[in-house]
């Protein structure tokens, strides 16, 4: 096998590995993004395409009809089934398996377990 053949072979296996790792990483990131979305944070994974002139509108989280966001997000199109667009009720949300997202600011309260440290108070 000539050197150039070895190099080509290595390049090919490298490419396969890169693709594999890329896909696995994307899957992990998507999982993370879903988790973040559930927490009320809207991130998107984007490649650094400097040439792409496409301007994507940030996906609207808060429905203009309901005035609140849901998980998964919905928008006014989801209100087409209604005679008159009205905010979804709890029952309708449940029927569509949407969960109402409350203000992320107010849900950051985490139940902190009150662990009483044994006389470890720092004196300042
Ligand atoms: Zn709505």
Give the distance (Å) from ligand 1 centre to CA of residue 28.
Answer: 30
Rounded to the nearest angstrom, the distance between the alpha carbon of 81 and the centre of ligand 1 is 11
Distances from the Cα of 78 to the Cαs of 34, 52, 85, 91, 93, in angstroms? Answer: 21, 30, 9, 15, 11
Q: 61 C-alpha to center of ligand 1: Å? A: 10
pLDDT in tens, the chain (124 residues): 899 999 999 999 999 999 999 999 999 999 999 999 999 999 888 887 666 555 555 455 788 899 998 988 898 888 988 888 899 999 999 999 999 886 554 444 555 555 555 665 555 5
36 CA to middle of ligand 1, Å? Answer: 21
- Contact between 41 and 32 (Cβ < 8 Å): no
DSSP state of 119: S
Centre of ligand 1 to C-alpha 34, Å, is 20
Domain boundary assignment for the chain: 7-45, 58-102
From ligand 1's centre to the CA of 97, what distance in Å? 13
């Amino acid at each position: 096998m000539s050197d150039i053949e070895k190099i080509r072979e290595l390049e090919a296996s490298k490419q396969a590995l890169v693709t594999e790792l890329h896909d696995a990483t994307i899957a992990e990131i998507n999982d993370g993004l879903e988790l973040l979305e559930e927490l009320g944070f809207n991130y998107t994974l984007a490649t650094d395409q400097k040439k792409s002139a496409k301007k994507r509108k940030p996906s609207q989280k808060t429905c203009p009809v309901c005035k609140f966001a849901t998980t998964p997000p919905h928008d006014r199109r989801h209100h087409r089934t209604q005679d008159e667009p009205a905010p979804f009720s709890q029952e309708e949300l449940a029927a569509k398996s949407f969960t109402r997202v409350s203000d992320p600011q107010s849900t950051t309260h985490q139940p902190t377990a009150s662990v009483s440290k044994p006389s470890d108070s720092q004196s300042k």
